[in-house]
């Protein structure tokens, strides 16, 4: 066990595995080149990576000597990088769409408020002008605030997942037997 402690000290991030199957979903019987990554592995990796600064880091996956197969290591490394590249691409597209949606809602909200102001100034007092104002003013305010919420808060949450995948794409992965 002292060699495990030495490996833990030397690595940027270390994860202790019982075997290669800890990385992959238990419900997926396909070979390692196609197999789905385990949610448990992703959650633990996300926790570990969250503490690191952006940039390059090493991920050391510690595996028992009797279960270590050096021929499987490159296949699994490539599968992990492939998973994180795909996730990064999907999250990047989703984040762009979210920002566009937020901007669009904010702009439409401002337009509605402008129309409400114009209606208040140009229309005479009456039931129709009051009805128009009842729809335009709250709708405009709601759309502005909801759009800004999407831009500043919801997209920030997506950016955290995107940053995790970017870090994992650049990570140098090592398998270390113990």
Average model confidence (pLDDT) for the chain?
88
Residue 76 in contact with residue 67, Cβ under 8 Å? no
Q: Where are the beta strands (DSSP E) in 105-178?
A: 172-177
Q: What is the pLDDT of residue 5?
A: 58
Q: What is the pLDDT of residue 54?
A: 60
CA gap 23, 76 in Å, rounded: 9
Express each pLDDT in 38-77 by its tens digit. 999 999 999 888 777 666 778 999 999 999 999 999 999 9
Tell me the pLDDT band of 119, cut-offs 50, 70 and 90. confident
Tell me the pLDDT band of 14, cut-offs 50, 70 and 90. confident
Q: Please list, residue by residue across 1-10, b when 16 or more beta carbons sit within 10 angstroms of its beta carbon and e when fewer do.
A: eeeeeebbee
Tell me the pLDDT band of 10, cut-offs 50, 70 and 90. very low
Tell me the pLDDT band of 113, cut-offs 50, 70 and 90. very high
Percentage of residues in the chain with pLDDT exceeding 90?
A: 56
Beta bridge partners of 72: none
Q: Is the pLDDT of residue 123 over 60?
A: yes
Q: What is the pLDDT of residue 143?
A: 96
Residue 109 in contact with residue 137, Cβ under 8 Å? no
Express each pLDDT in 144-164 by its tens digit. 999 999 999 888 888 888 989
């Amino acid at each position: 066990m002292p060699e495990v402690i030495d490996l833990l000290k030397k690595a940027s991030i270390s994860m202790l595995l019982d075997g290669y199957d800890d990385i992959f979903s238990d419900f997926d019987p396909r070979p390692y080149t196609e197999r789905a990554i385990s949610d448990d592995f992703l959650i633990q990796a996300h926790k570990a990576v969250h503490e690191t600064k952006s940039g390059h880091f090493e991920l050391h996956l510690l595996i028992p000597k009797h279960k270590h197969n050096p021929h499987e290591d490159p296949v699994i490394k490539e599968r992990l990088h492939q998973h994180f590249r795909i996730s990064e691409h999907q999250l990047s597209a989703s984040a762009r769409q979210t920002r566009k949606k937020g901007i669009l809602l904010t702009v439409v909200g401002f337009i509605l408020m402008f129309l409400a102001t114009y209606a208040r100034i140009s229309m005479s007092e009456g039931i129709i002008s009051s009805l128009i104002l009842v729809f335009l003013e709250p709708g405009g305010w709601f759309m502005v605030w909801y759009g800004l919420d999407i831009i500043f808060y919801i997209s920030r949450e997506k950016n955290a997942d995107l940053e995790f995948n970017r870090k994992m794409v650049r990570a140098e992965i090592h398998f270390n037997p113990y």
